[in-house]
Amino acid sequence: MKRLSITILLLSLFLSISADRKFPIPMIDDEPLNYVCYKSREKLVVDGKLDEESWKLAP
């Protein structure tokens, strides 16, 4: 019973400390105002090979 009480106490302490932190932690200070998404003419296969025509046309 004592072990359970200590576990609950430590868990509640940990949760109260971690609740003060923002999640997720921002990796950059500024967020972009906008971004450009390009549409491909064909389905792309993400296999590490850039041999499809759409990959060649990508900027």
- Model confidence at 18: pLDDT above 60: no
- Are 38 and 58 a contacting pair, CB within 8 Å? yes
pTM (2 decimals)?
0.34
Q: Exposed, middle or buried by CB within 10 Å (0-12, 13-18, 19+), for 12?
A: exposed
What is the rounded average pLDDT of the residues 4-15?
80
Domain region containing 39: 2-57
Identify the pLDDT of residue 51: 86
d(CA 59, CA 56): 8
**Top-confidence residue, 2 or 17:** 2
- Are 42 and 52 a contacting pair, CB within 8 Å? yes
Q: Domain tally for the chain? A: 1
Report which DSSP code applies to 25. P
What is the rounded average pLDDT of the residues 49-56?
85
